[in-house]
Structure 1
Amino acid sequence: MKEKKQIRKQMQQHLADFTKPVYEHSSYQIAQRLFAESFWKEANTISITISRMPEVDTYQIIRRAWEEKKTVVVPKCYPADRTMVFRALMAFNELESVFYGLYEPIEEITVAVEKKDIDLMIVPGLAFTKRGERLGFGGGYYDRYLEGYGGKKIALAFQQQIVPSLPVERHDILLQNIITEEETLEING
């Protein structure tokens, strides 16, 4: 646990050093790589988080999904039991600021979408390995949600977020692809 906290802190500090132009350009390159992938083109329903600096910018990806008539679903977290539900997002004004400055869908005006209906799950994280391991933000929400999920699981990351190894636990779910500004990693397994 202590090692994970230390890696999280180091990665957050490292990402905080990005200049706005580098951040914007790298996020754009990652998005363009994503849009070229067959799993993007074939997906009808895409789950994605609402990004905050210094996470890869997801606003441009959400806009593109809407332009392509895809359904975009974003997580609504329930801290009391550390669960989440994905809700369809039709416009950015359907979001509200919640804990830690995160934006989540407003329950009263959005509709819940079942796990089985999500084709492509874009999973957030702070650090990743080329083996598909990921270090999340510490809540365990995605590891719990991804149990039993049969669709495509990918991550978007800056090249600096790819590390040689991470402390892995039995419940950690592996990703199938990681897209950076330099490459698309395909994980076999």
Structure 2
Amino acid sequence: MTKAEIRKQAIAQRKALSDGQVATYSGALLEHFAALDFSTVQTVHVFLPIAEKKEPDTFLFIDWLALHHPEIRVIVPRADFETALMHNYVYAGREGLLKNAYHILEPAKGELHNGEVDMVLVPLLAFDIRGYRAGYGKGFYDRFLQGLDTLKIGLSFFGPLEQIDDIDAYDVRLDACITPEKIYRF
């Protein structure tokens, strides 16, 4: 399947989820995330969920990190749609977040993070057994991850596809993908 076909199917699949299912699946994702080794992690990039698109509730991950690993710096993205680039800001709490024109929560202001990033939680609509992902198609994360030496972890409510057919040189492969059932490692 192509990314365009996958996007249609994955969006419909997510849309069919109830709010209760999203909460249950998000909790299951967090359980697997909590089992990861954080001994060398100093900074984690966490995407903020678009509730209207029934994305995983990554606020659970941020809260868990604050409770169990307060020494880890959590950073969140702010997208520049003119340049298709993202900038990372130190997470300073929900009260400092505003929705942009695309309903994406972003830090309104705050401390810009230009340092190392040890782990990135990557949003996706679907992934395949090789570790490639289909996102919304804007390429923000592929640009951000290009040449970045970091642990790239996808979050998905559903298991892998056999293959995404139209992978190109700009697609960055994940190191792992967490689903409610298990962690897939690539």
User: Please, what TM-score do these two structures have when normalized by structure 1?
Assistant: 0.90
Equivalent residue for 1:46? 44
SS in structure 2 at match of 1:43 = coil
Runs of 4+ in structure 1 off by over 4 angstroms are none
Equivalent residue for 1:141? 140
Equivalent residue for 1:153? 152
SS in structure 1 at match of 2:27 = helix
Equivalent residue for 1:81? 83
CA distance in 1, matches of 2:39, 2:157: 22
Equivalent residue for 2:63? 63
CA distance in 1, matches of 2:151, 2:2: 29
CA distance in 1, matches of 2:5, 2:61: 30
CA distance in 2, matches of 1:44, 1:99: 31
Distance 1:94 1:41, change over 3 A: farther
User: Please, what TM-score do these two structures have when normalized by structure 2?
Assistant: 0.92
Q: How far does the alpha carbon of each residue in 1:114-170 deviate from its partner, in whole angstroms, 9 at most, with x for none?
A: 2x511101111111012110011111111111111001111111125x211112111
Specify the code of the residue in structure 2 equivalent to 1:106.
A
- Structure 1: gaps spanning 5 or more residues: none
Identity %: 25
CA distance in 2, matches of 1:136, 1:19: 21
Give the Å deviation of 1:24: 1.1
Tell me the C-alpha RMSD between the 2 structures: 1.5
Give the Å deviation of 1:27: 0.9
Give the Å deviation of 1:4: 2.2
Equivalent residue for 1:15? 14
Counterpart selection for 1:90 from 89, 92, 99: 92
SS in structure 2 at match of 1:117 = coil
Q: 2:126·2:161 contact (CA, 8 Å) conserved in 1?
A: yes
Considering fraction of residues, name the structure with more helix.
1
User: How many residues are aligned here?
Assistant: 181
- Structure 2: gaps spanning 5 or more residues: none
Equivalent residue for 1:129? 128
Give the Å deviation of 1:5: 2.3
Give the Å deviation of 1:112: 1.2
Q: 1:35·1:41 contact (CA, 8 Å) conserved in 2?
A: no
Q: 1:27·1:57 contact (CA, 8 Å) conserved in 2?
A: yes
Within the alignment, does 1:102 sit opposite 2:118 as a pair?
no
Give the Å deviation of 1:176: 0.4
